[in-house]
Structure 1
Amino acid sequence: MPTVLIADDEVDHRELLTIALHRLGYDVVTAADSAGALARLAGGGIDAALIDVRMPGGSGIELCRQIRGSAETELLPIMVISADVHRHQIMTALHAGADDFLPKPFSRAELTTRMETLLRTRPSAAARSASAARAALLASRHALIEETPAVPYRHTA
């Protein structure tokens, strides 16, 4: 079964998530902060990450950015978990690279469904590269259009 990293500074939350994920058949590794999570990820063998937003020494949002910024972990499926469910917080997490946002409190059924979806829709390196290439192509086309001087229209009768 897949191995899931849980990064949360609250011991009780880590334990509850660990129990729930073990019951679903997942292997679990935990970290109490961003530095510990990055150390666990550096060891390899992690298939997905559940990250709390508020942690000491660096937020879960910043951890998302670090994960996405590393070639070794850029494709790792990430679910951010938080009790802070303001639209701005959710959008910030998604813009930082999270694949999903799970608001606290949540049911075990919701966690199960979202974990299965997260792992099933994990992008391949080829798919992410193709997306990046499409984005670069669109950006270059936009830049070309912006740089092209406007030609006045002359009506001839």
Structure 2
Amino acid sequence: MARVLIADDDADIRDLVAFKLSQSGHQVTPVEDGMSALQVARRQPLDLVLLDIRMPGMSGLDVCRELRAAHDTASLPVILITARSQEGDVELGFAAGADDYIIKPFSPRELSSRVNAVLTRVER
């Protein structure tokens, strides 16, 4: 299946997402901050990146912008996962280049469905 990078500073969320996606057959690389996410994305081939917006150091929005700005990762699908649910926050996420935006708390089924939907769109 897909190679997925998960970046979230909350270990419980990171572990839940990693478990659910691993159960679905995806190869998962979990990291706890934005800088680590950017380093992994630059070093290894990925099919999808899931980013928390609020992380220490480099935010998920900043990581998303960096990925979009680099030639090698410009088309890499990005899903933002965050508790920030205001309309303006969602707009900022999409303006940064996100392909989807999931608001916490979310169900594992919703997460799996959205990941599959983004991956399916990319394959076309």
TM-score by length of 2: 0.95
1:115 matched to 2:115:
yes
- Report the equivalent of 1:103: 103
- Report the equivalent of 1:60: 60
For 2:19 and 2:93, locate their aligned partners in 1 and report how far apart those are by CA, in whole Å: 25
- Report the equivalent of 2:93: 93
- Report the equivalent of 1:25: 25
One-letter amino acid of the structure 2 residue matched with residue 38 of structure 1: L
Residues paired across the two proteins, number:
124
1:13 matched to 2:13:
yes
Conserved? CA contact 1:48–1:119, under 8 Å: yes
- Report the equivalent of 1:155: none
For 1:76 and 1:92, locate their aligned partners in 2 and report how far apart those are by CA, in whole Å: 18
Conserved? CA contact 1:53–1:82, under 8 Å: yes
Q: How far does the alpha carbon of each residue in 1:13-40 deviate from its partner, in whole angstroms, 9 at most, with x for none?
A: 1111111111111110011111100111
Structure 2 unaligned residues grouped into runs of 5+: none
Q: Computing the radius of gyration over CA atoms, which structure comes out larger, 1 or 2?
A: 1
- Report the equivalent of 2:69: 69
- Per the TM alignment, residue 9 of structure 1 is displaced from its structure 2 partner at its CA by 0.8
SS at match of 1:111: helix
- Report the equivalent of 1:46: 46
For 1:26 and 1:100, locate their aligned partners in 2 and report how far apart those are by CA, in whole Å: 18
For 1:63 and 1:42, locate their aligned partners in 2 and report how far apart those are by CA, in whole Å: 11
For 1:11 and 1:112, locate their aligned partners in 2 and report how far apart those are by CA, in whole Å: 19
One-letter amino acid of the structure 2 residue matched with residue 90 of structure 1: V
Q: Which has the higher strand share?
A: 2
- Per the TM alignment, residue 55 of structure 1 is displaced from its structure 2 partner at its CA by 0.4
- Cα RMSD for the two superposed structures: 1.2
- Per the TM alignment, residue 11 of structure 1 is displaced from its structure 2 partner at its CA by 1.2
One-letter amino acid of the structure 1 residue matched with residue 71 of structure 2: A
Bigger relative contact order, structure 1 or 2, given CA contacts below 8 A and separation 6+? Answer: 2
